[in-house]
Structure 1
Amino acid sequence: MGLVLTVLEIVAPVFILAAIGFAWVRLGYEFNMNFVTRLTMSLSVPCLIFMALIGTELDPAAVSALSLAAVVSYGALALVTAGVLLALGLSMRTYLAPLIFGNTGNLGLPVALFAFGETGLGYAVVVFAVMAIWSFTFGIWIVAGGGSVIKALKEPLLWGTVLGGIFLWQGWQVPVFLGNTLSLLGQISIPVMLLTLGVAVARLTPSSVLKALGLSLLKLVLCVGIAWEAGRLFGLSGEAFTILVIQLSTPVAVTSFLLAEKYGADADSVAGLVVVSTLVSVPALPILLALLL
């Protein structure tokens, strides 16, 4: 019973905030998705990543091992998923990126924070940063059907990650007034992202539910298995291992739907994946946490 209550204490705030966002839209209240998304992804989340990296007291060796494990995990997941999609005859442009990149921001960061506090958040930010680099380079390249990866250089998320990594490596700090300002900006990201998740799910109209369910379960199994093996391969243990598995196992991100819509992939099918995989995560994440804690 104690473990069950611990898991509920971790995941309940996450899903309650998402439910508030869902209910907010269903009740007819206004929510400017474009403004909120731009605010969080262009300003708040980069600040969160930067401050989490420069303020981390994590073992540098553990951070390096986790980073390498995350890079290898996403690479292996891309290869395996591409093979599965080829075998099933499904579109790479539509399905590959959503099945690789999970909701490590809106969902993964809060779960890590509530489960392990600031230490867990620090580890989760590392995985989120690796995912962001993969997503805004390889991910956009896939969804767009090719083209230049120079688009990634325009993403504040990338620069927040790079600068945070440099400061961490060199042991640099920022002036207190600037650090406090960046911390405040970063702190708004987690509750706002959870509300946005609920709003986005409320506005989506999924189709082909059975296909979305099958692919969502496939994503969960592949992500858990690959993250588990990568974590063991790089000698991760404790919180770092748990965070890697949880982050890789998060459901399809809403940004996958936005990118599909922007670059002309099958946005309706991706919308179905977002909704169904998020619903699957409601029981799946607590069970996974209970096994890993």
Structure 2
Amino acid sequence: MLTALAGALTPILLIICLGYFLGKKTHYLESPSLGDLVSNLGLPALLLYSVLSMQMQIFSMLKIIAATVLVLAIVALASFIFLKILKLPTRFYLPPLVNPNTGNLGIPIAYALFGSEGMAIAVVISSVVQISHFTLGVGFMSGAYNPKQLLKNGPVIALLIGALLLSLNVSLPSPLMNTLNMLSHITLPIMLMLLGKSLSTLSVKESNKISRAAMLSAFRPLVGGLSACLVVFFFPLSHLESVVLVVLNAMPVAVISYMLAIKFKGPVDEIALMILISLPISLGAVGIFWWFYI
């Protein structure tokens, strides 16, 4: 079992390391349009292809969406109480603790561990977390929120289109599905390399914050995974849906939280530390949850 887990995660870690190396030594990944390409074209294509190719029922999709929202709500409540105990401001610390990196890390891990069916579930969960990033994340860190931002979010649009097609029981023509499949194949490696590149550019200047960042880093994957375990115990999900939900909610702090902290002048150094420290903790938690459920 450990061999299977190591075999699944090793390619992911190697591609992240490749992205880190390319980010440090080359300019290959520096185009700002590369991230937009993945967010607005690759990830929506991956979502549509994954959901439609496994012929997920609309009820199953709604169950996954509802379960994800419930997990995020539980983690948000637990994080709010935790931050109040530590006397830390919720404005900048709540979004990183609530929103996991389900995109450029969670989806590849779900694919590696559970195959295409697990990835289809993961992209639905990731789309919900994307909405949380652009509502709770932007809303808290900026102190304001504009709902029109969601209308520009590719995965959200793809989720709505996918739900509409499923509800109408409409199948896309084979040439169009093949096109979506080809586009989706470029998405996972680029997402992982962009994650590595983001890690290569993180700037940490205040080492005295390491202990607090380590505590917050451990909180994110452990409370996220345990909250998901609580939800799947009471929620009518299949075994595969349950384990994917648990694994994705055990993901580390998302890189987008670091980008939002830069934009809205938050504790950038500390959130950078949280991303770095929470990554190995998260992978360890994934191994534990995967072992328990499999």
TM-score by length of 1: 0.92
Q: Is 1:277 the counterpart of 2:278 in the alignment?
A: yes
Pair 1:147–1:282, CA change in 2 (3 A): closer
Return the alpha-carbon distance in structure 2 between the equivalents of residues 185 and 210 of structure 1: 42
Contact kept, 8 Å, 1:85 with 1:91, in 2: the verdict is yes
Residue-pair matches, total: 291
Give, in angstroms, the shift of residue 247 of structure 1.
0.6
Equivalent position amino acid for 1:183 in 2? N
**Cα–Cα, structure 1 residues 92 and 283, in superposed 2: closer, same or farther, change >3 Å?**
same
User: 2:136 matched to which residue of 1?
Assistant: 138
Aligned pairs (5 A) from 1:254-273? 254-273=255-274
Q: Which residue of 1 aligns with 2:97?
A: 99
Could you say what secondary structure the match of 2:115 adopts?
A: helix
SS at match of 2:78: helix
How much has 1:47 moved relative to structure 2?
Answer: 1.4
Question: Hey, what does 1:127 align to over in structure 2?
Answer: 125
Distance 1:142 1:161 in 2: 24
Residues 1:226 and 2:227 are matched in the alignment: yes
Query: Residue 124 of structure 2 aligns to which amino acid in structure 1?
Result: V
Which of 8, 11, 18 aligns to 1:10? It is 8
Cα shift readout 1:186-218 (whole Å, capped 9, x = no counterpart): 221111111111111111123422211100111
Q: How does 1:211-250 map to 2 (within 5 A)?
A: 211-250=212-251
Q: Give 1:109 shift.
A: 0.8
Letter of the 2:140 counterpart: I
Q: Corresponding residue for 1:252?
A: 253
Q: Distance in 2 between matches of 1:36 and 1:197?
A: 12
> Match for 2:259: what amino acid?
L
Structure 1 residues 276 and 244, CA gap change in structure 2 (3 angstroms): same
Match of 2:116 in 1: 118
Q: How far 1:83 moved relative to its partner?
A: 1.9
Distance 2:55 2:164 in 1: 15
Give unpaired runs (5+ residues) of structure 2: none
- How big is the shift at 1:29? 4.9
* Unmatched segments (≥5 aa) in structure 1: none
The superposition leaves residues 100-154 of structure 1 with CA deviations (integer Å, 9 ceiling, x where unpaired) of 1111111111111111111111111121122112222222111211232222222
Find runs of 4+ consecutive structure 1 residues off by over 6 angstroms: none
2:157 to 156, 159, 162: 159
Shift of 1:60: 4.8
Distance in 1, matches of 2:135 and 2:177, equals 29
The Cα RMSD (Å) is: 1.8
Contact 2:51-2:121 at 8 Å conserved across structures: no
2:16 maps to a residue whose letter is A
Return the alpha-carbon distance in structure 1 between the equivalents of residues 86 and 269 of structure 2: 19
* Worse overlay, 145-154 or 212-221: 145-154
Cα distance in 1 for partners of 2:74, 2:52 equals 29
Query: Does structure 2 retain, via aligned residues, the 8 Å contact 1:220–1:249?
Result: yes
Could you tell me how far apart the structure 2 residues matched to 1:282 and 1:126 are? 21
Indicate if the aligned counterparts of 2:100 and 2:251 stay in contact, CA closer than 8 A: yes
Q: Distance in 2 between matches of 1:117 and 1:262?
A: 36
Instruction: Determine if contact 1:97/1:139 at 8 Å carries over to the other structure.
Output: yes
Distance 1:220 1:40 in 2: 25
Equivalence for 1:108: 106
The AA in structure 1 aligned to 2:38 is T
> 1:217 corresponds to which letter in structure 2?
A
Distance 2:264 2:31 in 1: 19
Using the alignment, how far apart are the partners of 1:81 and 1:111 within structure 2? Answer: 25
Q: Distance in 2 between matches of 1:130 and 1:182?
A: 21
